[in-house]
Structure 1
Amino acid sequence: MNNEIPYIVPSKGSTTKRYFSNEGLDGISRNVLSEEERDHFECYEFVCVEYYDLSLMQEHEIFSRVQLGVPLTTAEKLAVINTPITNFAQSLYRSYPSISKIIDTKRGRPLQVISQALLMIENPEKCKSTVKCIETYLKDDREVPFGLSQSVKQVFETLTTLIDTDVQLFHENHKFAPIEFVFFCWIIAKFPGIEIDTYQDYLKNMKDYVRRYHVDVRFNHKVYMTLKRFVDELEQDEELVDELWDDFYENDEYDELWDDIYGYDEKVEDNKGDCESLPSKKIKIEK
């Protein structure tokens, strides 16, 4: 007997009550449980989960699992938290269906990884590799900050463009791990509005980087710290390029500065000889 019964539905609830009262299904009283067993049984906790707006297929799937005694996953338990941030996370999954092509869609996983991405974007220092951390974040009954909602929507629009452009890039060589989804969302939020091919470079570099140190890329502390180091190094390189970029406009030695950044002399000039346009910045981290 488990110390937690995952579902209570009307038929199961009434059956449990009759069982506890030593009453058989035929209405005849029987000594099913001893007094000691009844005392022990009273200490068990029953968890009741109520779902709304389910499709008929979802109802059948849940009822089938109840009958087979399959408990809720940790991710599924997050869905019962009714707060604005939880509703926002669920609305993102509905509004951007292409996301289902790069994340695990089984048994509540979308809500879990999207919530982890939200926390990572809003406060990376508080994001930990534990479900308890996400549960605490979702239970905060506050309105979703406007800045966060705008930033996240931009992230998911960029993700959708990347998926539509080349979805196989996410799974190339290695399956796209949930923790990679979380960190890549953070990368897009940290470096908004750049070229799609630059984001593609970031994605490939991130996947290569983390697998230099970890064969199994899971959501744990070691992998988390490796990916955080990648983002920190990416940010440092971005700052270096920004400094060179500023110098480029302030210095007449275009060719020398261009070589410092790109390693080749190609540039676009207008009739006055001034630089007219610059290619998008691309960073490749090598270790």
Structure 2
Amino acid sequence: MSSESELTEPSSDEYEIEPSQEDSKKRKPKPSSTYTIKNSLKQPTTASYPTDWLAKQMKSGDIKVDPEYQRNVVWSDAKQSKLIDSILRNFYVPPVLFCISEDSSGNQTRICIDGKQRLTSIRRFLDGLIPHKDGKLSLYFKQADSTKAVRLLPEPLRKQFRNKTLVCIEYRDLSPIHEREMFQRVQLGMALTTGEQLQSFDGPMAQFAHKMHSELFDSAHIETPMCLAIERGRGFQNLIQIIACIARLPEYTHATHIQQTKLLQCQGMSPEKIKEIQHKSERALRLLKTIATNPELCSVAFSLPPRVSRNSPVEFCFSVLLIAMRMDNPGTGPKQLAEAIGEMRAAMRAVHVDMRSNSVVSGSFWNYITGAHHETPQPGPSSQSTSATPSMKKLKINAPPTPQSPTRSNRPEPSKPLTDTKPRPKAMPRSESSAQFQSIFSTPNAGPSQAL
């Protein structure tokens, strides 16, 4: 018999337990430990272009500095001249940010996302509209006005400025959403107004607001006869406020900044609701344009009282709301609407001194439109009942004098003296030194020299 066991050794496979189907279903593949960036943009390119080339591209339209989301030119002439001085002295100038698009013919267009103020300053200097300032000395690139004598920059310095280059960062094929997001990101450190922030949104409502802004202000220029302030996005902000209020008619709710943002993002609105709001807003705004562009109707609706230079945004807003509420009434046309707007503004200015868009003033306007209060509203703490209204005058009444009571005299009684006539006892000195001091200075006509 052999000493070694004749039994076969167990293989390692016999002790392995096969996983059940349930266990295999519960097991999930482990996520990859490598982090990846999603939705990244294409790598931009860097280029340097001469100032003269940039100005020519702006004039030809190959560089666009006025996309819808951009703000207006806000730099003063002094700040623009400071940039020209920085370029001439080789100081650092931040890069200009472009988005390049190409049409089917291969023509390239550069849209300025950041750097509009710098490019505008360069173009205005080359056109002779602003000078280079060195202390009190002002030197122009060229003479823009032949009737005005100016001192010109020497030709060698003019040639140097033409050849000065600006660093430009260029993105290609950005979508409109990425383009606007890029603008919002690079402007985080800038002091943008609320209207300029609203201009950077995109969507059906934002596009409609830009369309009406272009029709009312860029084409018809109704801000001039209506005496409105529209700079730095104020006109766009007023339109968004109006559209947000029209969206809630026949009720009125003061549209906050959050509600205006939701309107631009079309939150909770169906396509049918969006079209309905746009249609009603367009009708009301075009009736306003008809009134504003007619000198006779505009003077009836938007004439200013003395010592007032412009109409307030709340007057602009509720003028459009009045039109939206009454434009479908029988026999109501531009003339009747202009008269109603003029009467409403006169009534509100007779009550409110400070025409701000707050709950008190807005409530008075809305009550006037809906006729909730037929009586003239009484002025509150921030308002006054004006005597300058044409319908209210100060009246001088000649009435007999009221007889005086015999117990009263018209002359005021003489006031009693405040000092007590009784002599007060002299205070006793507290110490020997105090007594000595009192004996020296309390003697009439005695001074320190006599005591000594």
TM range (shorter): 0.5 to 0.7
Distance 2:274 2:286 in 1: 18
> Where in structure 2 are the equivalents of 1:232-247 lying within 5 Å?
232-233=370-371
Higher relative contact order, structure no. (Cα contacts within 8 Å, ≥ 6 residues apart): 1
Written as runs of structure 1 = structure 2, the 5 A alignment for 1:87-98 is 87-96=207-216, 97-98=219-220
Look up the match of 2:116: 60
State the partner residue of 1:115.
Answer: 240
**1:55, distance to aligned residue in structure 2 (A):** 8.1
**Residue matched to 1:224:** 362
Gap change, CA 1:209 and 1:61, over 3 Å in 2: farther
Name the counterpart of 2:289: 160
Count of residue pairs the alignment pairs up = 191
What is the correspondence of 1:5-16 to structure 2 with a 5 Å cutoff? Answer: none
C-alpha contact (below 8 Å) 1:129/1:219 kept by paired residues: no
Displacement of 1:197 in angstroms is: 2.0
Asked if residue 72 in structure 1 is aligned to residue 206 in structure 2, the reply is no
Please name the residue that 2:317 is paired with.
182
C-alpha distance in structure 1 between counterparts of 2:292 and 2:362, whole Å: 24
Deviation at 1:62, TM superposition (A): 7.3
Sequence identity percentage: 20
Counterparts in 2 of 1:123 and 1:51: CA distance versus 1, 3 Å = farther
Which residue in 2 is equivalent to 1:133?
259
**Distance in 2 of aligned mates of 1:235 and 1:151:** 26
CA deviation profile, 1:138-174 (whole Å, cap 9, x unmatched): 2225546333222222212211111121234414214
For residues 190 and 76 of structure 1, the distance between their equivalents in structure 2, rounded to whole angstroms, comes to 29
Distance in 2, matches of 1:201 and 1:132, equals 34
**Shift, 1:133, TM fit:** 2.7
Match of 1:100 in 2: 223
Change (3 A) 1:84 1:213: same
**Equivalent position of 1:192 in the other structure:** 327
Aligned residue in 2 for 1:210: 348
With over 3 angstroms needed to count, the CA separation of the structure-2 counterparts of 1:89 and 1:51, relative to structure 1, is farther
One-letter amino acid matched to 1:170: F
Q: 1:70 to 1:147 in 2, by over 3 A?
A: closer
Alpha-carbon distance in structure 1 between the residues aligned to 2:285 and 2:110: 25
* Structure 1 match to 2:408: none
Q: Which has the larger radius of gyration?
A: 2
Cα distance in 2, alignment partners of residues 132 and 153 from structure 1: 23
Higher helix proportion: 1
CA contact (8 A) 1:89 1:115 kept: yes
Q: Which ranges of structure 1 fall in alignment gaps of 5 or more residues?
A: 1-9, 12-48, 237-285
Q: Distance in 2 between matches of 1:123 and 1:50?
A: 40
Q: What secondary structure, in the 3-state scheme, does the structure 1 residue paired with 2:371 have?
A: helix
Stretch of structure 1 that moved more, 75-84 or 193-202: 193-202
Q: Deviations over 1:49-96 (max 9, x none)?
A: 99999988x9533778999x7510111111122221111111111123
SS of the residue 1:215 aligns to: coil
Cα gap change, 1:215 to 1:60, in 2 (>3 Å) = same
Shift of 1:131: 2.3
Number of the residue aligned with 1:252:
none
Q: Distance in 1 between matches of 2:215 and 2:357?
A: 25
* Residue deviations 1:222-278 (CA, integer Å, cap 9, x gap): 111111111111898xxxxxxxxxxxxxxxxxxxxxxxxxxxxxxxxxxxxxxxxxx
- Equivalent residue of 1:107, what SS? helix
Q: State whether residues 152 and 189 of structure 1, in contact with CA within 8 Å, keep that contact through their aligned partners in structure 2.
A: yes
Deviates more, 1:107-116 or 1:192-201: 192-201
Q: C-alpha distance in 2, partners of 1:209/1:51?
A: 51
What are the ranges of 5 or more consecutive residues in structure 2 without an aligned counterpart? Answer: 1-44, 47-96, 101-108, 122-185, 375-390, 393-452
Is contact 2:323–2:337 with CA below 8 Å preserved after alignment? yes
Aligned-pair RMSD on alpha carbons? 3.8
TM-score by length of 1: 0.56
Mark the CA change 1:62 to 1:227 in structure 2 (over 3 Å): closer, same or farther. farther
Structure-2 change in CA distance of 1:182 and 1:121 (3 Å): same
Structure 1 residue aligned with 2:302: 170
- Structure 1 residue 127, shift from structure 2 partner: 3.1
In the superposition, the TM-score normalised over structure 2's length comes to: 0.37
